[in-house]
Amino acid sequence: MTCPARRIPRPHTLRARLTLGLVVLLAISCAAVGVAAVLGVRAFLTSRLDEQLTEAGNRFAVSLEHGEEPARDDHDGDEHGDTRRQATGTFGARLVDGTVTNAAVVRTTGTLDVRLTDADREGLAAVPPDGRGHSVDLSALDGYRLLASRGIDGDVLVTGLPLEPVEATVHRLELVAGIVFGAALTVTGVVGALWVRWSLRPLSRVAETAARVSELPLASGEVALPPRVPESDPRSEVGRLAGAFDHMLGHVEDALTKRHASEERLRSFAADASHELRTPVASVRGHAELALLHPGPVPPEVTRALERITAESTRMSAMVDDLLLLARLDAGRPLEAVPVDLTRLVLDAVTDARATGPGHHWELDLPEAPVTVTGDAHRLPQVLANLLTNARVHTPAGTKVTVTLATDAKEAVLTVHDDGPGIPEDVRPGVFERFTRADRRTKTESGGAGLGLSIVAAVLEAHGGTVAMESEPGSTAFTVRLPLPPAAAGTA
């Protein structure tokens, strides 16, 4: 079983990314400078070591060639035995036909024979006598810089100096470079983070302003937008962004102001028109009913016309009342806030629905304890009546309609479910909008004006509640949620 590879965490904020990018680039630059410096110093010291080998020559190796002991006094020796100018640690070896015959190293007390391994002998035999330095690791002496040359007897003489001073200097340079570059990265990371944060302050103010705008109830129309982003340098990208954002807020504010003014005019017109229509519609209805009560003979055509006038004026009165109610709710007029027995309202509404729609099967599911909410005792019954009327009008006879009332921790939940044909899919998104009907070809005598569900949504919103709809062929459910009073919520 293989473990999944762990993903490297990546910074999410722009500030963190810029700071990380700055530190990474500096780290790469420091690494490149450090590697170049180490390689350069190593090459320089190695070349100096080669120069020392060239200057020292092969005196020590020549003394090994002739088997002479090096001079131990302060007088000049001959050319085959002079070792006084050889540095401590100088290595010498003689090879005849590729085989090491002699190998020794200069010490402070004299010379010391070196015991070489087979690998050391092979490494010495591989050094070409080209007069240039070559680095070889000798197991007995560690790293050495060797220079090979031809002897007077046709043999090969090898002289070498230890690489330990070079390696020590290089290691010390690596340590110093690591400390300096580490400190530079740390300081750059801190200073760079502060610099990036200071440079992105206008962008942070844009984000804060955008967050405040996103929390505003823009759908309400009249909204006071937050102050604009402070001006910054328009030559920078952040400054141009801040300026464009300020211009956008100005356009949004103008659009909201114009829309709010238009909606206010429309609400005012709807309220005034509804108010003005109530009197003439009531007058028409009253005259039609009075004409129907005339004791004299009336032709059947006239009676039918008067009945239609009465029915239409009645329907128009209900529509005017609905429009006037919506206009008042849009204007934000407060509703009554009194204890309302929701259980009694549901029971009465279902009883009325059974009387109005005897062809439907009505079922009621109520909790054992009564459910009381705070609201308007005149508008909440209208919510129940509209939902039940909607279930009765838009489903065929024989449909089962189930009304369920329950409570959860903080809300009263009312569900009206039917097993009818369902709401058409193209109508569902706007089912709670005004003048929306399931079938626009429905006759006005039975189809209504499409205000019932919009009144339900508006009344519930004024009560702090919600309504939701779920519909598919064979199942449609409207779920109403109303907040419970604190005491009732605790009991529930």
| CATH number for the domain that contains residue 452 | 3.30.565.10
3-state secondary structure of 473: coil
Backbone angles phi, psi at 122, to 5 degrees: -65, -40
Whether 182 maps to a domain, the answer reads no
pLDDT, position 363: 92
Backbone angles phi, psi at 132, to 5 degrees: -120, 155
Q: If you search the block for the tokens 């200071």, which residue do you land on?
A: 198
Query: In this structure, are 141 and 230 located in the same domain?
Result: no
442 to 32, 53, 356, 394, 438: CA distances (angstroms): 81, 111, 20, 10, 8
Q: Which of 153, 170, 187 is the last residue of a domain?
A: 170
Query: In this structure, are 484 and 348 located in the same domain?
Result: yes
Q: Which of 476, 426, 485, 480 is nearest to 457 (CA)?
A: 480
In this predicted structure, the answer to whether residue 119 has a pLDDT above a threshold of 80 is yes
Query: In this structure, are 325 and 343 located in the same domain?
Result: no
Query: In this structure, are 129 and 250 located in the same domain?
Result: no
pLDDT, position 152: 76
- Of 10-14, 254-258, 455-459, the one with minimum mean pLDDT is 10-14
Q: How many distinct structural domains can be found in the chain?
A: 3
Tokens of 375: 């609201």
CATH number reported for the structural domain that contains residue 283 in this entry:
1.10.287
Domain extent, residue 418, equals 338-491
pLDDT bin (cut points 50, 70, 90) of residue 82 is very low
Whether 23 maps to a domain, the answer reads yes
pLDDT bin (cut points 50, 70, 90) of residue 71 is very low
pLDDT digits (tens, 9 = 90+) for 368-398: 888 899 988 888 888 898 899 888 988 999 9
- Of 53-62, 196-205, 399-408, 483-492, the one with minimum mean pLDDT is 483-492
Side chain identity at 420, as an amino acid letter?
A: G
Contact 331/267 with Cβ under 8 angstroms?
yes
Q: Which of 152, 170, 188 is the last residue of a domain?
A: 170
pLDDT bin (cut points 50, 70, 90) of residue 97 is confident
Query: In this structure, are 316 and 343 located in the same domain?
Result: no
Integer Cα distance of 106 and 14 in angstroms: 64
Query: In this structure, are 473 and 347 located in the same domain?
Result: yes
Whether 180 maps to a domain, the answer reads no
- Of 99-103, 359-363, 365-369, the one with minimum mean pLDDT is 99-103
Integer Cα distance of 66 and 157 in angstroms: 11
- Of 62-71, 96-105, 258-267, 447-456, the one with minimum mean pLDDT is 62-71
Please give the average per-residue pLDDT across 32-60, as a whole number: 86
- Of 65-69, 128-132, 461-465, the one with minimum mean pLDDT is 65-69
pLDDT bin (cut points 50, 70, 90) of residue 69 is very low
Query: In this structure, are 31 and 140 located in the same domain?
Result: yes
Integer Cα distance of 273 and 467 in angstroms: 29
Q: What does the mean pLDDT of the chain come to?
A: 78
Q: If you search the block for the tokens 């036909």, which residue do you land on?
A: 97
Taken in order 118, 121, 127, 129, the sign of the CA dihedral is negative
Integer Cα distance of 363 and 350 in angstroms: 8
Top pLDDT among 139 and 294 is at: 139
What pTM was computed for the model?
0.47
pLDDT, position 404: 92
pLDDT, position 164: 87
Query: In this structure, are 328 and 381 located in the same domain?
Result: no
Query: In this structure, are 347 and 403 located in the same domain?
Result: yes
- Of 164-173, 231-240, 367-376, 481-490, the one with minimum mean pLDDT is 231-240
Whether 183 maps to a domain, the answer reads no
Integer Cα distance of 344 and 384 in angstroms: 11
Whether 259 maps to a domain, the answer reads yes
pLDDT, position 7: 58
Whether 178 maps to a domain, the answer reads no
Whether 224 maps to a domain, the answer reads yes
pLDDT, position 447: 52
Top pLDDT among 27 and 211 is at: 27
150 to 3, 68, 69: CA distances (angstroms): 62, 18, 21
pLDDT, position 249: 74
In this predicted structure, the answer to whether residue 56 has a pLDDT above a threshold of 80 is no
Query: In this structure, are 345 and 460 located in the same domain?
Result: yes
Query: In this structure, are 279 and 354 located in the same domain?
Result: no
Whether 188 maps to a domain, the answer reads no
Distance of CA 177 to the CA centre of its chain: 40
Q: Which of 139, 170, 201 is the last residue of a domain?
A: 170
β pairing state of 361-365 and 400-407: parallel
pLDDT, position 303: 78
Query: In this structure, are 312 and 394 located in the same domain?
Result: no
pLDDT, position 266: 63
- Of 48-62, 205-219, 473-487, the one with minimum mean pLDDT is 205-219
